[in-house]
Structure 1
Amino acid sequence: MDLRGRVTGLMGRARTDLAELVVIPSVADSRQYPPEGCARAAQWVVEAFIEEGFRDAHLEETADGSQAVIGSRPCADPAAPTVLLYAHYDVQPPLDEDAWRTPPFELTEVDGRWYGRGAADCKGNIVMHLTALRALGDDVPVNLKLVVEGSEEQGTGGLEDFVPKHAELLQADTILVCDTGNASVGVPAATVSLRGMVNLVVSVDALSSEVHSGMFGGAAPDALAALVAMLATLRDATGDTTVTGLDHGQTWPGEPYPPEQFRTDAGLVDGAALLGSGTVSDMLWARPALTILGIDCPPVLGSAAAIAPHARARLNLRIPPGTEPDVAEKALTEHLLASAPWGVRVGVESEATGAPFLARTDGPAYRAMAAAMEEAFGTSMVHLGQGGSIPLCNVFAETYPNAEIVLMGVEEPQALIHAPNESVDPREIARLALAEALFMQGLASGRER
C-alpha cells in the first residue's frame, strides 16, 4: 500500500474539509459568539467520521453544556490494540480582527500556509485524523475510538468530568492527544511534559481612600508601590523565578530549544535578553515560571496627584512535573505575604490550579510512533515539553493508568495559535496523517525500532 501517495492525493480534500471547518465560528464562549457555531462544527465532525466508518458517531452533552463527538470503529481483529483519537472543534476568539491579514473565519492560502482561526488549533488535527483514515481505507488494522470535544479552549472541564463517568466508552490501549505540535516545520515531536499552573489574585490595601500626594506622600504607605515591591521579589536579576519553597534548579533532559530560534518564535525585540540562569528548555519546561498577567491601578491617562489606597495583580505560576499545584499555591501565597512591606494589608485569592503531566515513553506505542514519525518525516522524532496545561491528560492518565498517552499534532511555532494570523503548514497535516496511518499499521503488527 502506497500510503504516502494516498495522502498526497487526499490533500485537496483535506483543504476543502479545513475550509468548511474554519468558516464555522465555533467559539465556545457564548458571551462572545452564539452557540450555533459550536453546534454546526460538532455536527460536521459527526458526519465526517460516520463517513469514515465510525457508524455510531454521535453527540454527548457534557457537564459544562458543550457537546463531545463520541464514536468507535472496530477492526476485523477484536484482539488488536485499541487507539483513541482526540481533538477539539472549538476555537479561540479571533481577538483583534484588524490585526489579521486575512479574514479569521475564512481559510486563505498565503505563501504556502493556510490561514484562519482554528487552522492549526485544533481543526487541522481533525482533518489530519480524517486524512489518515482515508489513506488506510478499509485496511485500518486497529480498533478505534473517537472523542472530539467542544470546550477545550474555554477550559470549563466538560470532557474532564465526562471521561471518568464513562470510562468504558473511551477505554483504549493508546490515546493520541492531537492538540500539540512539532519543534518546527518538518521536525517531528511528541510532547512528553506539560506544565501545571496556579493562578492567584493578590490585593494590597494601604489606606481607606486616596489622599493628596503632596500633603501625605513620604509618610503614608502607597498600595501600588507596596505591590510593585512584592512583585519584584518574584524574580531575581537574571530573570529566574524565585518563589520561596520551589525548586528552581531543574534541567530539561529532552530536545534543546535553540536560543536564536526561540528569539524568533517569541518575537523578542532587538537587544532584549533571554531570562534565567538555565537553557531555554530548562526555563520553559523544567522550572517554575511566574508571569504577571494584569494589574489594577490608576491608568496614566487621567491619573491624579494622589496616593493609591488599593492595588491588585493577577499572577500565573507555571509549574513543571514533580511539583504539586497545592504545594506551589501555598508557596506563592506565603511568599507574597512575607514580602509585603510597611504593614499593608494583603489578600490572596486562588483563581485556578492545574496539575502538570509527564508521559511514560517506554512502551510499544511510543516506539511505534517514533518509527512512524521517522518514516513519514525522514528524521527522528524528538521529545518536547509544553508550557500550556492540558488537564484532560491527567484525567486520561488517572482513568486509564495502563494506557500510553501520546501528545502530537500539526501546531508548531509559526502557527501562532491563540493569536491573530493563526495558520497551518499543509505539509504538517500531510506528514502527520502519514505518520498516524503508519503508526496504526506498526502498532498492530508489533513493528518497532
Structure 2
Amino acid sequence: MSLSESDLRAAIAREMPGVRADLERLVRIPGIAFEGFDHTQVERSAEAVAELLRGCDLDTQIVRHGGQPAVIGRRPAPPGAPTVLLYAHHDVQPTGDVSRWTSDPFEPVERDGRLYGRGAVDDKAGVMAHVAALRAYGDQLPVGVVVFVEGEEEYGSDSLNDILAAHTDELRSDVIVIADSGNWDIGQPALTTSLRGLVNLFVEVKVLRSAVHSGMFGGPLPDALMTLARLLATLHDDQGEVAVDGLIGREGASVDYPEDRFRHEGGVLDGVRLIGKGSITDRCWTKPAISVLGIDAPRTFEAANALQPTAKAKIGVRVAPGDDPKSVYAAVRSHLEKFVSWGAHVEVTLESDGNPCVIDATGPAYDAARAAFASAWDGVAPVDMGVGGSIPFIATFQELFPQAAILVTGVEDPQSGAHGPDESLHLGEFERVCVAEALLLRNVAEALTS
C-alpha cells in the first residue's frame, strides 16, 4: 500500500531537521575537483555521500574511472514497478575571492531563512533532496532507485562517459531525475526543458618576435593587445547581437522575464544597457551568446612602456539548442581568422565543448512530475523553462537511455548565487523540493507500474 500525500508530507517534515544537519556536514567538506586543490577532500565528500546512501538501505559503491570518485547506490524495484535514477553531484566550485563572502564559505550559516555556504545549493542540496525522499519512504519505497552522485561535474565531467559506459546496466532506468537546475522563482516551481551547449576556446594573436620600446616603435607597429581587442570587438554588432555567421538560434520562449527582474538578479549597474535583440528569455535560452572570459596580458601595475608581442583570450560560446558544438567552433574559428587586423598571426584552439539539449516533456512521467510539483507548491503549477547554462551530460543520458524520461529539476532560485560568493539555499523552498520528489516517486510508481 503506497503512502498518501499527507503521510509523505508528515514524513518529510519529520526528516527535515536531520536532512539539514547532514547537508551542513556536507557543506563543511571543501570537495573541489579542480586542479591545484586538495582532492582528498573530494574523497571525503564521496565517502560522506556513500554513508548517507547506505543509511537509506541502498547497495552502495564508490566508483572512479580516471577522475574523481562518484557514488552509485541501488535498491531494486518491487515486482512490476519502474526504476528511477536520481542524479546529483557532490563536488563544488572554488570559492573565488573569500573576502567577497559575508561568512566562511565552508561553514554553513543561516540568515533570513537561507543557508549560506559553498555547495549549499549547487549541488549538495540536490543530494540531500534525494536522501530526504528515500528517508520519507523508509522500507515502503514504491519504485526501484538508482542514486548516482558524480564527483567532478563542476570540473567538466571528464570521466563521466567512462563511468556511464562501465556501469550502464546498473544505471539503466525508466525515469531519470537530474537535480542540478532550479525553479523559476521562489514560490514558482519549474521543469527545465532546454539547455544551451558550450564551446570554450582560446584565440592568440602574435605581431612581434619580442616586446619592443613603445616610444621607439609605437605608431607604425600594432601591439598585440590592441590587435586582440579589435578582433574581439568583431564578435558582436553595434546592438550586441552575435555577428558570427553560421550559428543557429531561434525565438519563441514561452516564459516572460521582466527586464527589471533580470537587471536586479544580474546585478546590472544603473545606466548599463542590455545587448542583443528579442525577448530576454530568447537571448538567455534559445539564442547563442559569446563572452570574453579572460585575457592573458601584463597586469597594469607591472606593465612596462613596451609593445606586447602576443596576447591571448579565452572565449566562451553558449550554443543554442539545435546547434552543434563542432560546427559552432568551426564558425567562430573561421570568423577570427578572417577578421584579424593588420596581417597579425592568429591561432585558435579548442579547450572543451558540450552539447545543448531539448527535452520533449510529454508523457506519463512528466505528468507525474507536474502533479507532484503542483501539490508540493500548494496548487502552483510548474512552468517549463529553459536554462542558458549548460549540462552537457544530459545529451549523453539521452543517447545512452533513449527510452527513459529525463526530468531536470533542482533546488536553486534566482537569489541562490550558485558559483558566486554567498551561495545560498532557500530553506522553505528546499522543503518543498523534498516533498515534490517524494510525491514524484509515488506518482511515477502509479503511472508506470505494470
Relative to the length of structure 2, the TM-score reads: 0.94
Match of 2:235 in 1: 234
Segments of structure 2 that go 5 or more residues without pairing to the other structure are: none
Separation in structure 2 between the aligned mates of residue 257 and residue 310 of structure 1, nearest angstrom: 41
SS at match of 2:292: strand
Q: 1:11 aligned to 13, 16, 35, which one? A: 16
Q: How far is the alpha carbon of 1:197 from its aligned partner?
A: 1.2
- Any idea what the Cα deviations from partners look like across 1:133-171, whole Å, max 9, x if unmatched? 222233221111111111111214222221123211100
Q: 1:70 aligned to 43, 51, 72, which one? A: 72
Structure 1 residue 39 and structure 2 residue 40: aligned?
no
Match of 1:24 in 2: 29
Separation in structure 2 between the aligned mates of residue 179 and residue 240 of structure 1, nearest angstrom: 29
Moved more, 367-376 or 293-302: 293-302
Give the 3 Å change call, closer, same or farther, for CA 180–306 of structure 1 in structure 2. same
- Any idea what the Cα deviations from partners look like across 1:338-366, whole Å, max 9, x if unmatched? 11111111111111111111112112111
Separation in structure 1 between the aligned mates of residue 417 and residue 171 of structure 2, nearest angstrom: 31
Separation in structure 2 between the aligned mates of residue 152 and residue 446 of structure 1, nearest angstrom: 31
Contact 2:248–2:322, Cα closer than 8 Å, also in 1: no
SS at match of 1:231: helix
Match of 2:60 in 1: 57
SS at match of 1:290: strand
Separation in structure 1 between the aligned mates of residue 138 and residue 229 of structure 2, nearest angstrom: 61
Contact 1:164–1:395, Cα closer than 8 Å, also in 2: no
Separation in structure 2 between the aligned mates of residue 332 and residue 225 of structure 1, nearest angstrom: 20
Separation in structure 2 between the aligned mates of residue 298 and residue 171 of structure 1, nearest angstrom: 51
Contact 1:18–1:107, Cα closer than 8 Å, also in 2: no
Moved more, 186-195 or 67-76: 67-76
Separation in structure 1 between the aligned mates of residue 240 and residue 56 of structure 2, nearest angstrom: 50
Contact 1:252–1:285, Cα closer than 8 Å, also in 2: no
Separation in structure 1 between the aligned mates of residue 233 and residue 34 of structure 2, nearest angstrom: 34
SS at match of 1:436: helix
Q: Could you tell me which amino acid in structure 1 is paired with residue 291 of structure 2?
A: T
Contact 1:254–1:382, Cα closer than 8 Å, also in 2: no
Matches within 5 A, 1:11-410: 11-29=16-34, 31-33=36-38, 35-54=39-58, 56-64=59-67, 66-77=68-79, 79-248=80-249, 250-377=250-377, 378-410=379-411
Segments of structure 1 that go 5 or more residues without pairing to the other structure are: none
Contact 2:121–2:411, Cα closer than 8 Å, also in 1: yes
- Any idea what the Cα deviations from partners look like across 1:273-319, whole Å, max 9, x if unmatched? 12211111111111110100111233322333333222111111111
Q: How far is the alpha carbon of 1:321 from its aligned partner?
A: 1.1
How many residue pairs are counted as aligned between the two chains?
Answer: 442
Give the 3 Å change call, closer, same or farther, for CA 273–37 of structure 1 in structure 2. same
SS at match of 1:314: strand
- Any idea what the Cα deviations from partners look like across 1:246-268, whole Å, max 9, x if unmatched? 135x1143323222111111110
Q: How far is the alpha carbon of 1:387 from its aligned partner?
A: 2.3
Q: How far is the alpha carbon of 1:243 from its aligned partner?
A: 1.0
Q: Could you tell me which amino acid in structure 2 is paired with residue 231 of structure 1?
A: L
CA RMSD of aligned residues (A): 1.6
SS at match of 2:302: coil
Contact 2:259–2:280, Cα closer than 8 Å, also in 1: yes
- Any idea what the Cα deviations from partners look like across 1:391-445, whole Å, max 9, x if unmatched? 2212111111111111111112211111111110111221111111111111111
Separation in structure 2 between the aligned mates of residue 103 and residue 22 of structure 1, nearest angstrom: 11
Separation in structure 2 between the aligned mates of residue 103 and residue 223 of structure 1, nearest angstrom: 40
Q: How far is the alpha carbon of 1:15 from its aligned partner?
A: 1.4
Relative to the length of structure 1, the TM-score reads: 0.95
Contact 2:365–2:447, Cα closer than 8 Å, also in 1: no
Match of 2:417 in 1: 416
Moved more, 332-341 or 256-265: 256-265
- Any idea what the Cα deviations from partners look like across 1:87-121, whole Å, max 9, x if unmatched? 11111122222221122111211111111111101
Separation in structure 2 between the aligned mates of residue 328 and residue 80 of structure 1, nearest angstrom: 43
Moved more, 183-192 or 213-222: 213-222
Moved more, 297-306 or 280-289: 297-306
Moved more, 82-91 or 127-136: 127-136
SS at match of 2:154: coil
Q: Could you tell me which amino acid in structure 2 is paired with residue 419 of structure 1?
A: G
Matched-pair identity in %? 42
Separation in structure 2 between the aligned mates of residue 20 and residue 306 of structure 1, nearest angstrom: 52
Q: Could you tell me which amino acid in structure 1 is paired with residue 133 of structure 2?
A: A
SS at match of 1:86: strand
Contact 1:286–1:320, Cα closer than 8 Å, also in 2: yes
Separation in structure 2 between the aligned mates of residue 74 and residue 156 of structure 1, nearest angstrom: 27
Separation in structure 2 between the aligned mates of residue 94 and residue 231 of structure 1, nearest angstrom: 29
Separation in structure 2 between the aligned mates of residue 72 and residue 214 of structure 1, nearest angstrom: 70
